[in-house]
């Protein structure tokens, strides 16, 4: 059942992405603050559905861990500000939003500057090989 839900969500995501812009900095920077918050909430909801997790108590920790939103002291607003800052760097605008969310999560958790520098270098490499719309 979990696999069926995952495949359904993955297929819908692939279809939606093929019909619209990539979810990267170009896409992010054209959204309103409200749309960005809705996206972040939907992102976690989507991971929850794909994992087949339900219930606010048992599933919340897993959902946030899977999405990179597992920093208990961070809010969606902080992630929004972090993503805005991340995508204000022209070198990051082609990086997919999922990788950007993970990077911001690491920043909020206090990951070392060396680790963050390595992560951003890898993310930029991935983005340079991803077709851009």
Model confidence at 120, in pLDDT bands (50, 70, 90)?
Answer: very high
Q: How many angstroms from the chain centroid is the CA of residue 1?
A: 25
Q: What is the pLDDT of residues 44-74, one digit of tens each?
A: 777 666 666 555 555 555 555 655 555 566 7
Confidence (pTM): 0.69
> What's the CA gap between 104 and 85, in Å, rounded?
9
> What's the CA gap between 46 and 83, in Å, rounded?
19
Domain ranges of the chain: 2-128
**More confident of the two residues 100 and 41:** 100
């Amino acid at each position: 059942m979990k696999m069926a839900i995952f495949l359904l969500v993955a297929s819908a995501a692939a279809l939606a992405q093929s019909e619209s812009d990539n979810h990267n900095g170009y896409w992010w920077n054209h959204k309103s603050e409200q749309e960005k918050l809705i996206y972040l909430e939907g992102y976690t909801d989507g991971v929850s559905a794909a994992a087949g997790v339900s219930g606010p108590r048992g599933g919340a920790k897993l959902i946030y861990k899977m999405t990179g939103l597992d920093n208990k002291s961070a809010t969606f607003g902080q992630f929004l500000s972090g993503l805005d800052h991340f995508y204000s760097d022209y070198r990051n605008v082609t990086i997919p939003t999922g990788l950007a969310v993970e990077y911001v999560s690491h920043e909020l958790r206090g990951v070392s500057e060396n680790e963050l520098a390595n992560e951003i270098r890898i993310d930029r490499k991935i983005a340079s090989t991803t077709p851009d719309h």
